[in-house]
Structure formats: C-alpha cells, structure tokens
Amino acid sequence: MAINFLGIEVDKYEFRAFLTAVVVMTIFIFSMLYVVGARRSDVPQCVNFDPSYLKPRVEKIDDSTYQVFVVAQMWGYQPSEIRIPVGSTVNFYVTSKDVVHGFMIDQKDINMMAEYGNITKRTVKFKDPGVYTITCHEYCGVGHQNMQGQIIVNFPQAQ
C-alpha cells in the first residue's frame, strides 16, 4: 500500500521509517541545544604547548583564583593532591608525559583528555567543601585502575 507524500508515491513502511528518523533527529537536536544552553556545558580549550606546562604546580592568582598545572603520567597525577579554599575558581591546565590519560573530577562536569604535546584547559568553581577525586578514564596501561588524585576544598591556605 502506498501513501501520497508531497506528490510522491511512498510505501507506507518507508514513510513510517522516514517519519521515525525525522522525529529522532529532532529530539537529538533539541537535546543538544538544551545541554549547551540550559546546562551551560562548555568544551575544554586547547592551549599552545609550552615546556613550562610540564612542571606540575598550583599557583595562586588572587584570593579566589588559582591555576593548577597537572601532569599525568603512568600511573598518577602530579600534583596528586591539590588543596584550595571554598569558593575558589580554578583553571586546570592538563598534559601528559607519556600516553593518553583521562582527567575526570567526580561531582563536577569536568572530563578532559591529557595528551602528550597538548595542553587542555578548563575552569571550575568549587562552591562546596569536600574531597573531589580525580580519576583517569582512559586505559593507560596495567596500573590504570590505581590512577587517581584528590582535590581537597576547605583549606584557608592553598599549597
């Protein structure tokens, strides 16, 4: 049985498949717009490589802003423990010394890749005190499951 669609004879099952595809694509597009707009999701920035980024450190810019330079390597992060006060805004610069690693902060919308020769940057605001675990989510070798770090929020003095 055929259906007349815009002056074209189309099989009813082909028409249903076409209609289903249009509905699914529409839902997908609106879902993406929702995530970008309402959830204020952003994409990590790529920064030009400079050898100074290979030195792990925490730098205090002002009373509430910090820059953290994280170097991932088999099988850990340097610095492995980051201490900052509540309410701080932190710019994370992440790179790797060897293979591809992941950099995911639990309880935050942070999920970055650490790649050798590339610097990835994301900015995070830590409003609540607590211990935030950093986890590698990219398989990087036999010690991958133990690759974790910590961000400790609620210290009056950063390291």
Q: Residue 100: which residues within 8 A CB-CB, separation 6 or more?
A: 113, 114, 115, 116, 138, 140
pLDDT at 61: 92
Q: Could you tell me the domains of the chain?
A: 2-37 (no CATH), 45-153 (2.60.40.420)
Residues of the chain with pLDDT under 70: 38-45, 155-159
Distance CA 101, CA 73 (A): 8
| DSSP code at position 39 | S
| DSSP code at position 32 | H
pLDDT at 51: 83
Nearest CA to 134 out of 157, 87, 102, 98 is that of 102
pLDDT at 12: 87
pLDDT digits (tens, 9 = 90+) for 90-122: 999 999 988 999 999 998 888 898 888 889 999
pLDDT at 46: 72
